[in-house]
Amino acid sequence: MARKFTGSFTQQEGLSQEAIAAAVAVLQSGRLHRYNLAPGEAGEAAQLEAEYRDWQGSAYCLAVTSGGQALQIALRACGVEPGAKVLTNAYTLAPVPGAIRAVGAETVLVEIDEDLRLDLDDLDAKIASSGARVLLLSHMRGHLCDMDRLMAICNGAEVTVIEDCAHTMGAQWNGIRSGNFGKVACFSTQTYKHMNSGEGGFLTTDDAAIAARATILSGSYMLYERHGAGPDPEAFADARYDMPNCSARMDALRAAILRPQLADLDSNIARWNARYTQVEERLKAQDGVTTIKLPSAETHVGSSIQFRLPDFTAAQCRALLDAAATRGVELKWFGAKEPAGFTSAHPSWRYVPAQDMPKTDRIMATLFDMRLPLSFSQDDCALIAELICDAVNEVAS
C-alpha cells in the first residue's frame, strides 16, 4: 500500500493554557469592547499594542479587526484618494488589490522575478509610466525582496511604501524587521498567520500623524488616549475631525489570546524554520523541482513553502494536485484559471483593470504552495516531502 499522510493542513496548534485563562478572564468580566474598561484598567488591547510596538521596534502600533482592514486604513491614512494609482505585486492574494479597490484607487500591477519577489526593474519602470506615488508592497508568502534597493528606488521617486507583512511577521532584511522599511506596515493575526486570533491585525508606523489618522479611522470614538502605543494627544488635532470612523477596532478577547502568543513568537519562528528546512532540503534533491532561493540578507519565516515545476504542462500540474491529494498532501497551485480557497491569480480580480503580466503568468503557471502548520512534527515534514517527490515522479513518468 502506498504511503499516506493522515494529518490536517488546516489544523493549527491549540492555544496555550495561559491564553485560555486570559480569554476566560475577559469573558467573566463581560468587558469585551476595547474601551469598556474598569477604573484604572489598561485593557487587553492597549497592552497588546504596547507589547507589539516594542517587539516590532516601531514608534506606534494600532490593533485592528483584520490585516485587510489594516491595509485599507493604511492607504487612507497615507492620503490615498479615489482615482489614485497604487502599485502592488502581480503575485499576491486578493485582499491586497481588494484594499486598493475598497478605497476607490486603481491597482497598477508590478511583475515578479523567478524567486517570487517584486521585479525591481519593472517597479522602476511602472513608477515612471503610471505616475503612482504609493506602493502597497506584498511580502507574499514570506519572501522579502532587496529592501535596500527597493527603498532607494521609492525614496528617489518620492513613492510612499506601505508594507503588507501578513506573511513576514518576524522576518528581517539585513537585521531590520519586515515592516520597518516603509511608512506604514500591516500585519495579520488571522488563523493561518503567525499568531492566531481567528481574525485580527496590526498597523505599525513611526509617523505620529499617520498613527493618529489610523486610530481615528479604526473607530476610536475620541477615546484615543486609551490606546497603549499611540501618539500624543496633540497629533489628533486635525485627524479627529477629518477621518471617518470605519469601525475596525480589535476587541479585548482577541487581544487577550494574542498576548501570550506574542511572548512565544520568536521560539515559534525557529520551529517553523526547522520544518521549512526539512521539506526544502528534500525538494532541492528532486529532479524537476525548483525551490525558491532565500537571500543571505533575509531572515525567513517558513510557515509555508513554495516550489516550481518549470517543465510541467498545465495538465501535469493538475495531475500533481490529484497525485498529492491521494497521498494526503494538500498542495495549492497558482496556475489555475479559477480562484480556489486562499489562492487566486490576477486575471480573476475583475475589480482590477486587466493588465499584461507575461513574466508573472509564466512563473505562476507552475507554482505550487503548501502550508507548514506547527501542528506538524519534524517527522511529518520529512514524510510529506517524500510524498511530494513520489507524486512528482508519478506524474513525470
3-class secondary-structure state, position 338: coil
State how many domains the chain has: 2
Residue 344 confidence (pLDDT): 82
Q: Is the pLDDT of residue 10 over 50?
A: yes
In what side-by-side order are the strands of the sheet with 298-299?
Answer: 176-177, 172-173, 298-299
3-class secondary-structure state, position 17: helix
CA pair distance 24, 260, nearest whole angstrom: 14
391 and 245 within one domain: no
3-class secondary-structure state, position 113: coil
Residue with cell 499522510: 5
Percent of the chain topping pLDDT 90: 96
Residue of 189, 169, 188 whose CA lies nearest to 179 = 169
Residue 308 confidence (pLDDT): 98
- Minimum mean pLDDT range among 278-287, 332-341, 367-376: 332-341
Helical ranges in 131-251 per DSSP H: 147-156, 208-218, 239-242
Task: Kindly state whether residue 181 falls inside one of the protein's structural domains.
Answer: yes
110 and 37 within one domain: yes
Cβ proximity of 100 and 290 under 8 Å:
no
Task: Kindly state whether residue 346 falls inside one of the protein's structural domains.
Answer: yes
Per the structure, the complete domain to which residue 323 belongs is given by 265-396
Summarised one tens digit per residue, pLDDT across range 200-243 is 999 999 999 999 999 999 999 999 999 999 999 999 999 999 99
Q: Is the pLDDT of residue 1 over 50?
A: no
363 and 278 within one domain: yes
Summarised one tens digit per residue, pLDDT across range 12-66 is 999 999 999 999 999 999 999 999 999 999 999 999 999 999 999 999 999 999 9
Cβ proximity of 256 and 274 under 8 Å:
no
Q: List for the chain the helix, strand, coil content (%; round to 5).
A: 40, 15, 45
48 and 192 within one domain: yes
140 bridge partner residues = none
Residue with cell 489610523: 214
C-alpha cell at 353: 483593470
Q: What number is the average pLDDT over the span 90-95?
A: 95
344 and 249 within one domain: no
385 and 240 within one domain: no
57 contact partners, CB below 8 Å, separation of at least 6: 177, 180
Task: Kindly state whether residue 1 falls inside one of the protein's structural domains.
Answer: no
Q: Is the pTM of this model over 0.85?
A: yes
- CATH number of the domain enclosing 81: 3.40.640.10
151 contact partners, CB below 8 Å, separation of at least 6: 161, 181, 182
Q: What is the dihedral of CA 304, 318, 138, 363, to 10 degrees?
A: 110
Task: Kindly state whether residue 280 falls inside one of the protein's structural domains.
Answer: yes
242 and 222 within one domain: yes
pLDDT grade for 90, boundaries at 50, 70 and 90: very high
Task: Kindly state whether residue 3 falls inside one of the protein's structural domains.
Answer: no
Residue of 106, 124, 143 whose CA lies nearest to 308 = 143
Choose one of 226, 259, 292: the last residue of a domain. 259
Choose one of 207, 236, 259: the last residue of a domain. 259
Q: Is 256 exposed, middle or buried (0-12, 13-18, 19+ CB in 10 A)?
A: buried
Task: Kindly state whether residue 6 falls inside one of the protein's structural domains.
Answer: no
Summarised one tens digit per residue, pLDDT across range 132-176 is 999 999 999 999 999 999 999 999 999 999 999 999 999 999 999
Biggest CA-to-CA distance, the chain = 70
CA pair distance 312, 366, nearest whole angstrom: 7
271 and 235 within one domain: no
CA pair distance 69, 247, nearest whole angstrom: 10
324 and 216 within one domain: no
106 and 59 within one domain: yes
Cβ proximity of 389 and 327 under 8 Å:
no
Q: Is the pLDDT of residue 310 over 60?
A: yes
How many residues comprise the chain?
Answer: 397
3-class secondary-structure state, position 95: helix
CA pair distance 114, 195, nearest whole angstrom: 29
3-class secondary-structure state, position 308: strand
101 and 44 within one domain: yes
Summarised one tens digit per residue, pLDDT across range 250-302 is 999 999 999 999 999 999 999 999 999 999 999 999 999 999 999 999 999 99
Residue 14: HSE in the Cβ half-sphere, 13 Å Cα cutoff: 4
156 contact partners, CB below 8 Å, separation of at least 6: none
Percent of the chain topping pLDDT 70: 99
Cβ proximity of 252 and 32 under 8 Å:
yes
Task: Kindly state whether residue 217 falls inside one of the protein's structural domains.
Answer: yes
184 and 78 within one domain: yes
Task: Kindly state whether residue 12 falls inside one of the protein's structural domains.
Answer: no
- CATH number of the domain enclosing 290: 3.90.1150.10
Choose one of 214, 229, 259: the last residue of a domain. 259
Residue 7 confidence (pLDDT): 94
Phi then psi for 365, rounded to 5 degrees? -60, -30
CA pair distance 381, 384, nearest whole angstrom: 5
Average pLDDT, the chain: 96
Residue 151 confidence (pLDDT): 98
